[in-house]
Amino acid sequence: MTKTCNGECSACGVDCEERKESSFVEKPHELSSIKRVIGVVSGKGGVGKSLVTSMLAVAAQRRGNRVAILDADITGPSIPQAFGIKEKASGNEMGMFPVKSKNGISIMSVNLLLENETDPVIWRGPILAGTVKQFWTDVIWNDVDCMFVDLPPGTGDVPLTVFQSIPLDGIVIVTTPQELVGMIVDKAVTMANMMKIPVLAVIENMSGFKCPGCGEIHNIFGESRIEAVAAKHGIETVSRILINPKLAAAVDSGEIESFEEEVINDLINSLGLGKGVK
Could you report the per-residue pLDDT of 40-77, keeping only the tens digit for each?
999 888 889 999 999 999 999 999 999 999 999 999 99
* Band of residue 21 on the pLDDT scale cut at 50, 70, 90: very low
Tens digits of residue pLDDT in 187-242: 899 999 999 999 999 999 999 998 888 989 999 888 888 888 899 999 999 999 99
Report the alpha-carbon angle 7-13-17, nearest 5: 60
pTM to 2 decimal places: 0.88
